[in-house]
Amino acid sequence: MEKDMEEIRLNKYLASCGICSRRDADKLIEQGVVTVDGIRAVQGMKVTGQEEIRVRGKKTAGRDKKVVLAYYKPRGVVCTQRDAHAQKIVTEELNYPIRVTYAGRLDKDSEGLLLMTNDGALIEAMMRGVNRHEKEYIVKVTEEWNEEALTRMRQGIYLEELDTTTRPCEIERIGPKTIRMVLTQGLNRQIRRMCATQGYEVFSLKRTRVINIGIENLKPGEYRELTSDEMKRLYEQCGFDSRDI
C-alpha cells in the first residue's frame, strides 16, 4: 500500500462505491462477508481503494467507476426505493453488489427494459423531457386496432387527467391487436392513458429499447452490464463527453 495514497475507513469506502450505507457496511463487516486482498475485514480498518475488496465474494467496482445495467423488469416488480406495501422492489430483485437505481420508471403491471446506474448525472440527463430520448414499446390491447385511432395517437392525444397533449410519436401496427410505439417523453402511465382515450385497454406493455440500448435476449429478472461501445454511445447521446466515463 503506497503511503502517499489517501486512506479512508472501509465502511466509508463501501458507501462511496454505492454498495450500501456506512451503517450497513459495518453490519456486512461484522458478518464477515467483506474481504480485503483475500483477508477478512475488521471494523475500523482503512483502505485506499487500490486493494481487491470483495463483498460476499463479488469484487467492488470502485468509487469512480460508472456502472450501467440493462435489466429486464418482470411484471409485478415496483420501481421504488422503499415501499412497505410493495412485495417486490426493483433494487432488491436485481440484487447487484453495487447500489444502482433506475433511470426512468416502468409501472408495476408493465415489463421490459430498465436502465440501472450509479451515475446520478446520467439519470438526470435521461429524465429531462426536453432531450426527447427515444423509448420503444410493444403494446398489446384487448380489441383489434382501428387505423383511425392509431392515426390520432400518432398525431398526439390530449390527456385530460394530466392536462397535456402528447407529442407526435411513431406507431407501427405489427398484429391485429399489437403495435410498436416509440415515444420521446415519459408521462405518467402515458401509453395506457393514450390507449384509453381511444377506447382500448392495454393487455400487456413491454419496453424493448431505451435510446441506443435494447433488451435483446434478456429474460424477465435477468440483467447485463453494458458494453464499452454501448456506454460510449449512451453517454454521448445524453450530452456527455464519453472520454469522461
In angstroms, the CA 147 to CA 140 distance is 15
In angstroms, the CA 80 to CA 151 distance is 34
**Which residue of the set 4, 26, 64, 107 is catalytic?**
107
The three-point CA angle 121-127-128 to 5° equals: 95
Pair type for strands 178-183 and 46-47: unpaired
- What cell was used for 77? 416488480
244 is catalytic: no
Phi-psi region of 149 (alpha: psi -120 to 50; beta: other; left: phi over 0): alpha
In angstroms, the CA 77 to CA 87 distance is 8
| Residues acting as catalytic residues | 107
